[in-house]
Amino acid sequence: MINAYLHKSIRLLLPALFFTLSSFMASAQDGEALFKNNCRTCHSPFERVTGPALKGVENRHSEEWLLKWIKNAPGMIKSGDPEAVKLYSENKDRGMMQIFTNLKDDEIKAILKYIKEVQPPVAAVAAKTDDEGGEEKSSNTWLYLIAAAVLLYLISGVLRRVQETLAHTVRKNQGIPDPAHMSRWQSFVHWARNNKKLLAVILIALFVYGNVKAWYGLMGIAVTQGYKPEQPIKFSHKLHAGDMKISCIYCHSGAERGKTAGVPSLNVCMNCHKFVKQGPTTGKDEIAKIYKALDYDPDKGTYGTNQKPIQWNRVHNLPDLAYFNHSQHFVVGKIECQTCHGPVQDSMTVVSQYSMLTMGWCIDCHRRTPVQMAGNNYYNDFHKTLLAKYGSDSLLTVESIGGTECARCHY
């Protein structure tokens, strides 16, 4: 009787604890995942990217107002909302806020909670203990899951020993001999035969979990977000685009003229480095590589004949089946470089792939991004047709002009 009671208790306790922990960990990750999927392209909690830094946003605006703003910022601006108009006027040089009608109120609240609670990357370093061998505190949820699994394993082991001891005592008092000793495998087979329903639930859960993990694993093939190769010359975007405030178009002139932004030739570098022969962080070492590739003598100011191109490592690489035009987005769409490439001017001493650049990521952007109609004569006649079709009060996104049609990017 005691044996059966304990056995039933363990069967009920472990799935309940596992479900509770899984639910807790999943909810803790929701805000972060939603932020990365929807907001990270234009915002960071701690620094300005395309849009302003979001840390402390709950103190600057009410939750009710933020829910409306995030879902339809252009609509609020058009309605004349004072806060919306003021916020837009302060950031209009960075473009219009996208719409997020796909997000539910609870999802937006989860994002706001994540922004409120997230700590700067350096917080983990500052949190080290002063004792020798002190370890850095981590918010990695996998550590909590592993700790919970170990704890559950220890609890189940203690309960099993208690169960065996009580069962032995009961059998001894009733004069019943102990059953023959079984190996671990025999014990498992015996347990499986007596718990077929529970075993079936576990197998189904493992099957579903495995398929979900496999699905997301397949979705991640060729997604190289975060790819950060070392380059033959240590070129710092933070130094050039940030500290020196050199326009992106000065080096990547193709972005406003055609499909590719292009990598600048070393002649473009030499416009400055004929005169700037030493860098603030790397001294003469990296600039000397430019001179060597051009067979340039900085003392005499002459070029030799043994010139060799620099073999740069490509960072962003869309598949050949997808067509993307930089000028269409930069000139016509008035999309800032940082929208896709991240805060290169603030933090990228070594450039990395900031965005996912997947088809779903592009489509979501097209569904949220309003068409820049003011002062844009590129689609002048087409805009008149759209306004006649949808009405002057309608919010026209890139999707409205066919931005989600397959043939726009695949032809």
**Alpha carbons 259 and 328: distance in angstroms, whole number:** 8
Q: Counting Cβ atoms within 10 Å, is residue 85 exposed (0-12), middle (13-18) or buried (19+)?
A: middle
Residues 6+ apart with CB under 8 A from 132: none
User: Per-residue pLDDT averaged across 304-333, rounded?
Assistant: 92
Per-residue pLDDT of 63-75, as tens digits, reads: 888 888 888 888 8
Q: 176: left (phi > 0), else alpha (psi -120 to 50), else beta?
A: beta
Torsion sign, CA atoms 278, 280, 285, 288: negative
User: Per-residue pLDDT averaged across 317-334, rounded?
Assistant: 91
pLDDT of residue 97: 77
pLDDT of residue 129: 44
pLDDT of residue 216: 87
Residue 44 sits at φ, ψ, to 5 deg, of -130, 150
Which of 356, 325, 324 shows the shortest CA–CA distance to 340? 356
**Alpha carbons 372 and 396: distance in angstroms, whole number:** 9
**Alpha carbons 69 and 76: distance in angstroms, whole number:** 7
Question: Is residue 259 scored above 80 in pLDDT?
Answer: yes
Residue 42 sits at φ, ψ, to 5 deg, of -115, -15
pLDDT grade for 133, boundaries at 50, 70 and 90: very low
pLDDT grade for 135, boundaries at 50, 70 and 90: very low
Question: Is residue 324 scored above 90 in pLDDT?
Answer: yes
User: Per-residue pLDDT averaged across 156-181, rounded?
Assistant: 86
Residue 370 sits at φ, ψ, to 5 deg, of -70, 150
Question: Is residue 214 scored above 80 in pLDDT?
Answer: yes
402: its two tokens: 């066919």
Per-residue pLDDT of 348-360, as tens digits, reads: 999 999 999 999 9
**Alpha carbons 95 and 50: distance in angstroms, whole number:** 8
Q: How far is CA 376 from the centre of its chain?
A: 32
Mean pLDDT rounded to a whole number for the chain: 83
Q: Counting Cβ atoms within 10 Å, is residue 46 exposed (0-12), middle (13-18) or buried (19+)?
A: middle
Per-residue pLDDT of 49-108, as tens digits, reads: 777 888 888 888 898 888 888 888 888 888 888 888 888 888 776 667 778 877 888 888
Question: Is residue 138 scored above 60 in pLDDT?
Answer: no
Where is pLDDT greater, at 373 or 197? 197
- Residue 204: what residue type? I
- Which DSSP symbol is given to 230? P
User: Per-residue pLDDT averaged across 371-385, rounded?
Assistant: 73
Which of 324, 322, 327, 332 shows the shortest CA–CA distance to 382? 332
Question: Is residue 328 scored above 60 in pLDDT?
Answer: yes
pLDDT grade for 128, boundaries at 50, 70 and 90: very low
CB of 270 within 8 A of CB of 296?
A: yes
Range of 13-22, 377-386, 401-410 with top mean pLDDT: 401-410
% residues pLDDT > 90 (the chain): 40
